[in-house]
Amino acid sequence: GAVVSQHPSWVICKSGTSVKIECRSLDFQATTMFWYRQFPKQSLMLMATSNEGSKATYEQGVEKDKFLINHASLTLSTLTVTSAHPEDSSFYICSARRLAGEGFVETQYFGPGTRLLVL
Amino acid sequence: AQKITQTQPGMFVQEKEAVTLDCTYDTSDQSYGLFWYKQPSSGEMIFLIYQGSYDEQNATEGRYSLNFQKARKSANLVISASQLGDSAMYFCAMYGMNRDDKIIFGKGTRLHILP
């Protein structure tokens, strides 16, 4: 079935460094991908919508200069956490939507997530 | 604005029993989609089931079925014959008319299956 991958799975970095997280749709094209973050014991919170070939749409309260999103192709979106600080430590999850087709319903698949720990 | 409400923060169910996880939603859109996801302790979001607002029949996927009551704006997840591996966090989610719309999530229900 359709799979969305994320890389890396775990990141531990020092405060002030930048971290790039990749999200790939492995067997389908996704014009739109979504980036979420999740704090322990909380629900997923949408950070931004990543559109292939155009600028990302950020949710209110999310700093676009802090969280850079690039949707380089129909199968790849990247999230860069710039100048990361301890409060950016979280679980980041990307998602890609696959439209309905022959034999399958429309659905949104999620990557396995990336755990970021900023020291 | 759209809203998802899951009123059960946690549930404990005996193995092999059926489970119903509640979800109500609010939207002004005529066309929308509803999802259920399972999140085990690993953190991965696992797609379980999808229901389109114009689908007349309730969606089913194996042991999962979605009890869709459009007039009441509810989309409860039913798990038949629960298994120990079903212990996880379950999220109800939806998106609106525009297919590029973001998915919004409920706060989730923590399901514990007891042996």
Give the gap in angstroms from C-alpha B15 to the nearest C-alpha of chain A: 24
pLDDT digits (tens, 9 = 90+) for A58-107: 999 999 999 999 988 889 999 999 999 999 999 999 999 877 776 666 67
Does residue B25 carry a pLDDT above 80?
A: yes
pLDDT digits (tens, 9 = 90+) for A6-60: 999 999 999 999 999 999 999 888 878 999 999 988 899 999 998 888 889 999 9
Q: What residues pair up with B31 in beta bridges, in sequence order?
A: none
Reported confidence tier of residue A113, pLDDT bands at 50, 70, 90 = very high
Does residue B97 carry a pLDDT above 80?
A: no
The number of beta carbons lying within 10 Å of the beta carbon of residue A54 is 9
According to the model, what pLDDT value does residue B72 have? 95
User: Is A115 near chain B, with CB under 8 Å?
Assistant: yes
Q: Which residue has the higher pLDDT, B97 or A65?
A: A65
The answer for B 68-107 residues in CB contact with A (under 8 A) is: 91, 95, 99-100, 102-107
Q: Which residues of A touch B52 (CB under 8 A)?
A: 105-106
Contacts 24+ apart (CB under 8 A), B41-45: B41/B88, B42/A112, B43/A38, B43/A91, B43/A93, B43/A112, B43/A113, B43/A115, B44/A110, B44/A111, B44/A112, B44/A113, B45/A44, B45/A93, B45/A95, B45/A110, B45/A113, B45/B91
DSSP three-state, residue A87: helix
Pick the closest to residue B89 from A117, A108, A67, A42 (CA basis).
Answer: A42
pLDDT digits (tens, 9 = 90+) for B45-74: 998 999 989 888 999 999 999 999 999 999
At B21, list the tokens: 């996880």
Where are the extended beta strands (E) located within B1-115? 3-5, 10-14, 19-21, 24-26, 33-39, 46-52, 60-61, 64-69, 74-79, 88-95, 104-105, 109-114
Reported confidence tier of residue B31, pLDDT bands at 50, 70, 90 = confident
Least CB-CB distance to B103: which of A34, A51, A59? A34
According to the model, what pLDDT value does residue B100 have? 55
Q: Which residues of A touch B107 (CB under 8 A)?
A: 42-43
Does residue B24 carry a pLDDT above 80?
A: yes
